[in-house]
């Protein structure tokens, strides 16, 4: 990764990161085309390779970058005082607000990283994927109060909230605050069932 990337304006950095995140999220590593990334970012292909070296370099960079941002936003104190899976999930969504406002595709990208099938991408991001899995496991350990099939509840919340996010992103009408409000209304329903 070329350090000159960080000499760019924050607006241009974010535009490039968002373009790379979107293409990798929609296509997966193997099918993501750098031509689509540069078109989405409004830069030349030469600049993309200047900043990241290769497609794998871009993938590795955004994976590491988004993970660092997520860790910063969530922090350990976020989970203090929350006991049920619904409360923990609500706190996580609230903590992800700034991340989603700046990088709307970031959470779906990280979810895709954990599920990635490309051996090249898996090898390059093993540490980051392990960290994401660790964050999820830690989050779930914090939710200690629940009577019922907690695995099904986690899956149902995940499918619902990520599906809602994906629908809004794919429609081109994503607004982080509107998403968070709608996701909160779904969590209220889950809370009543729990």
Report CA torsion sign: 96, 97, 101, 102.
Answer: negative
Helix axes 34-41 and 45-52, enclosed angle (nearest 10): 100
Domains located in the chain, CATH noted: 3-193 (1.10.357)
DSSP conformation class of 80? T
- Contact by Cβ (8 Å): 132, 112: no
Whole-number pLDDT of residue 151 = 78
Whole-number pLDDT of residue 78 = 59
| Closest by CA position to 105, among listed 20, 11, 34 | 20
d(CA 191, CA 18): 33
CA 42, chain centre distance (Å):
22
Distances (CA, A) of 97 to 37, 127, 174: 25, 25, 13
Question: Model pTM?
Answer: 0.88
Report CA torsion sign: 45, 64, 127, 164.
Answer: negative
Distances (CA, A) of 74 to 106, 138, 161, 168: 14, 12, 18, 23
Whole-number pLDDT of residue 160 = 93
* 63 contacts: CB under 8 Å, gap ≥ 6: 109, 110, 113, 125, 128, 129
- Contact by Cβ (8 Å): 24, 62: yes
User: From first to last of its 194 residues, what are the pLDDT tens digits of the chain?
Assistant: 678 899 999 999 999 999 999 999 999 999 999 999 999 999 999 999 999 999 999 999 999 999 999 888 887 655 666 677 888 888 888 888 889 999 999 999 999 998 899 999 999 999 998 988 888 877 777 666 556 677 788 888 889 999 999 999 999 989 999 999 999 999 988 876 54
Whole-number pLDDT of residue 71 = 87
């Amino acid at each position: 990764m070329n350090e000159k990337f960080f000499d760019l304006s924050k607006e241009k950095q974010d535009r490039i990161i968002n373009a790379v995140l979107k293409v990798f999220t929609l296509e997966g590593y193997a099918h993501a085309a750098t031509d689509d990334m540069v078109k989405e970012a409004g830069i030349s292909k030469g600049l993309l390779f200047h900043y990241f070296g290769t497609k794998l370099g871009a993938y590795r960079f955004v994976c590491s970058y988004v993970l660092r941002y997520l860790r910063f936003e969530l922090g350990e104190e976020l989970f203090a005082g929350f006991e049920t899976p619904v409360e923990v999930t609500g706190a996580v969504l609230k903590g992800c607000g700034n991340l989603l406002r700046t990088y709307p595709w970031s959470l779906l990208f990280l979810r895709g990283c954990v599920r990635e099938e490309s051996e090249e991408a898996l090898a390059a991001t093993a540490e980051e994927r392990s960290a994401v899995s660790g964050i999820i496991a830690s989050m779930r350990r914090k939710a200690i109060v629940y009577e019922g099939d907690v695995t099904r509840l986690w899956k149902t919340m995940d499918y619902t909230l990520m599906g809602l996010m994906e629908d809004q992103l794919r429609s081109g009408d994503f607004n982080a605050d509107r998403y968070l409000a709608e996701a909160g209304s779904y969590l209220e329903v889950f809370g009543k069932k729990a």
